């Protein structure tokens, strides 16, 4: 059974870098059919896609966060990671990792669903 | 890209049906059959309920169904049960660079 688990500091100071890791168990991250994504949810608010990464290192990012986001993958550990720089209080949220799947059409993978999700980890930005 | 538009709330009595709408544009919902729906209970991670407009993952009851017309997708929950109460989010593929956009969420109350 595929499971994902986020880990990392729960408190980050303003202007510093938020770093999270997602450990995948029950399946290999080396799959041709999936990307691995990050989504966040500020307290009491809706979901926001942050970005995703393929096992080869190909990435896609939300344009609104692109200048501050970096994702990476470690296939030897079956993990992928998120770094968000220059954080402010607005970056306080529950951060989720998830498998990002879709449909191959004409040689292109149209990513369109997230499943399963990790349990999420609350990251608070505060001094 | 802007968030998809969902009604903030919806409700129904046990056994009834309720439909939640998700309105986007021709660049996302209307342009592709790549809409998904998620259920979220308080303090829990979202759960995939519908993908590619109308497909149900294994284990999701057939009381949940999805459809799309133009730029608006819909999630219908038939035979409402108490455990269906929660927040529901739609999401869509939004074109180049595999961009993903979510709706603002709808709180479903079972009366």
Radius of gyration of chain B from its Cα atoms, rounded to whole angstroms: 13
pLDDT the model gives residue B97? 73
List, for residues A83-102, the tens digit of each pLDDT value. 999 999 999 999 999 999 99
User: What residues contact A116, with CB distance under 8 A and at least 6 apart?
Assistant: A2, A3, A4, A98, A99, B48
Using alpha carbons, list the distances in angstroms from residue A20 to A46, A79, A81, A98. Answer: 20, 10, 6, 13
* Closest chain B residue to the Cα of A59, Cα to Cα: B97
Q: How many CB atoms lie within 10 A of CB B81?
A: 12
Q: Do A46 and B103 touch (CB under 8 A)?
A: yes
pLDDT the model gives residue B1? 62
Q: Is B71 on the interface with A (CB under 8 A)?
A: no
* Closest chain B residue to the Cα of A104, Cα to Cα: B34
Interface residues from chain A to B (CB-CB < 8 Å): 35, 37, 46-49, 52, 60, 62-63, 96, 101-103, 109-120
Contacts of A102 in chain B (CB under 8 A): 34, 93
pLDDT above 70: residue A42:
yes
Averaged pLDDT for residues A14-33: 95
Q: From first to last of its 111 residues, what are the pLDDT tens digits of chain B?
A: 678 999 999 999 999 999 999 999 999 999 999 999 999 999 999 999 999 999 999 999 999 999 999 999 999 999 999 999 999 999 999 987 768 999 999 999 999
List, for residues B14-34, the tens digit of each pLDDT value. 999 999 999 999 999 999 999
């Amino acid at each position: 059974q595929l499971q994902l688990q986020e880990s990392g500091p729960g408190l980050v100071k303003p202007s510093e870098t938020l770093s999270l890791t997602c450990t995948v168990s029950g399946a290999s991250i080396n799959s041709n059919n999936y990307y691995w994504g990050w989504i966040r949810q500020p307290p009491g608010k809706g979901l926001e896609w942050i970005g995703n990464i393929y096992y080869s290192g190909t990435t896609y990012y939300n344009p609104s966060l692109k200048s501050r986001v970096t994702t990476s993958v470690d296939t030897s550990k079956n993990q992928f990671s998120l770094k968000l720089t220059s954080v402010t209080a607005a970056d306080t949220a529950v951060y989720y990792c998830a498998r990002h799947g879709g449909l191959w059409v004409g040689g292109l993978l149209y990513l369109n669903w997230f499943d399963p999700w990790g349990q999420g980890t609350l990251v608070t930005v505060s001094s | 890209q802007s968030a998809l538009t969902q009604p903030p709330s919806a409700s129904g009595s046990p056994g009834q049906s309720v439909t939640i709408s998700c309105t986007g544009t021709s660049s996302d919902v209307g342009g592709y059959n790549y809409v998904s729906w998620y259920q979220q209970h308080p303090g829990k991670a979202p759960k995939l309920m519908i993908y590619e407009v109308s497909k149900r993952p294994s284990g999701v009851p057939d009381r949940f169904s999805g459809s799309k017309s133009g730029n608006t997708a819909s999630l219908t929950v038939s035979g409402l049960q108490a455990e269906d109460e929660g927040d529901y989010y739609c999401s869509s593929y939004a074109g180049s660079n595999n961009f993903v956009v979510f709706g603002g969420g709808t709180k479903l109350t079972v009366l």
